[in-house]
Amino acid sequence: MSSQHPPPKEKPVHILVVGAGAIGCFYASRLHHKILTILRQPSKNIYVSLVCRSNYSIVARSGVQMKTRTFGDYTFTPAAAYPSIPAAASSSSAPKDGWDYIFVTTKALPDIVDDAAEIEPLVRKGPDGKSCIVLIQNGVGVEEPHRKRFPNNPLVSVVTIVSAEQISQGVVRQNRWTRTSLGPYSDGLGGRTAEGKELARRGQACTDDVVDLLTRYGGIRDAESYDEIGMQQVRWHKVCINAANNPSSVLSGGRGSANMVMDPDLRLHLKGCMEEVFEAAEHVLGEPFPAKLAKPERILTSTERNTDGRPSMLVDWIHGRPMELEVILGNPVRIARERGYEMKRLQTLYALLKSAQKMRKESTEQDAKRQNGAKL
């Protein structure tokens, strides 16, 4: 008499998303979504947890309400929610063998926060660098601090064009798009040593695994895997758009992207910034952008239709928040300069906005001191 044995269970995949803002919640919910709404049990044993900040209490209590253009409305209940990184690192509910993937989806502000140092308590290092770090952040150069701090851990670099916002605490709306580009990071150039090539190989394996999780289980059909140089080209191409539109929207007095490109003088300025990034990227990476990545004039024409778009720097400036100046402007300027190419337009934008942010911060601090003095 033959006996049937149940198929062996797949090893659980433990993912921790650091940053429970709109982008973090969107990706976390897609990786965890089938657990709640279709199978009522983990699909491929994927357990996704969140490190929250101001929205911790509501997320821990009732999850995240997702209102998405692509997937409809649903509730995302993470495997666990933590109020901080130390809490996640020391919690009894954390996986015994550590996190397989640590997604960093916070705003990249290296002049204010060292993200690599922040997540160190979560990362399994060891000789094989077990934990894979996945960086979903804007700009270029965001990977290098992690590479220096975690020399043996695989890194996956991610560029997303998802448009999403947290419309209230615990409520996230995805407005449009799901395209996600992923690739490994060893040294930014594909690994120039034997150790670098091995890191690139391991990073590529993690990249392909994350793409599989996003497409097969998360339903994000346009998640794409790149090699290391290809991924850096995608990063520089997005900087081409962000470094032109973001600072210019602030310095032009608050004009939106479509409004700027319809102004002949501003359009000429934006095109000049984009062309400068195209030239710098070729100097840095040693290859021109592939033909499938849109050239400046096509980007500008496409921007004409984005009538509701307000660049993120403008939104941050309006609300008095720090802007991502270093990764969108400062890093590109410095990296290109190291390769012998001066980005004069971006250098000017960087210097002006850095000064404006510094002056406003000092003015705000002086106003606060005067108010405190008046109360005394």
C-alpha 314/C-alpha 322 separation (Å) is: 11
Give me the residue label for tokens 């140089």.
229
Write down which residue in 226, 258, 289 finishes a domain.
Answer: 226
Angle subtended at Cα 163 by Cα 162 and Cα 166, rounded to the nearest 5 degrees: 115
Inter-axis angle of helices 264-285 and 228-251, nearest 10: 150
Pair (183, 304) in one structural domain: no
- Asked if residue 376 is part of any domain, the answer here is no
User: Residues 113-156: pLDDT tens digits?
Assistant: 999 999 999 999 866 668 999 999 999 999 999 999 999 999 99
| pLDDT per residue as tens digits for the range 151-206 | 999 999 999 999 899 999 999 999 889 999 999 999 998 888 898 899 999 999 99
* Contact in structure between 88 and 51 (CB atoms under 8 Å): yes
Rg (CA), the chain: 22
Q: Answer yes or no: is pLDDT of 240 > 70.
A: yes
Ramachandran angles phi, psi of 156, nearest 5°: -120, 125
Report strand pairing: 46-51 vs 81-82. Answer: parallel
- If one counts the domains in the chain, the total is 2
Question: Tens digits of per-residue pLDDT, 100-111?
Answer: 999 999 999 999
| Confidence (pLDDT) at 3 | 45
Evaluate if residue 324 carries a pLDDT over 50: yes
End-to-end CA gap in the chain: 89
What number is the average pLDDT over the span 323-329?
98
Q: Which helix (H) or strand (E) holds 269?
A: helix 264-285
Q: Is residue 374 part of a domain?
A: no
Across the range 253-267, mean pLDDT stands at: 96
Please tell me whether residues 204 and 349 are part of one structural domain: no
CATH at 254: 1.10.1040.10
Higher pLDDT, 270 or 43: 270
Per-residue pLDDT band for 12 (boundaries 50, 70, 90) equals confident
CA separation, residue 251 to residues 107, 115, 260, 349, 360 (Å): 21, 28, 11, 9, 14
The confidence band for 367, taking pLDDT boundaries of 50, 70 and 90, is confident
Q: What share of the chain is helix, strand, coil (3-state, %, to 5)?
A: 50, 15, 35
> For residues 258 and 308, what is the distance between their CA atoms, to the nearest angstrom?
8
One DSSP character per residue, 320-372 reads TPPP-HIIIIIHHHHHHHHTT---HHHHHHHHHHHHHHHHHHHHHHHHHHHHH
Q: Which CATH number fits the domain that encloses residue 51? A: 3.40.50.720
371 part of a folded domain: no
Q: In terms of domains, do 270 and 318 share one? A: yes
Same domain assignment for residues 254 and 216: no
Please give the residue range of the domain that contains residue 267: 232-362
User: Greater confidence, 309 or 229?
Assistant: 229
Question: Which structure tokens are listed for 309?
Answer: 């778009």
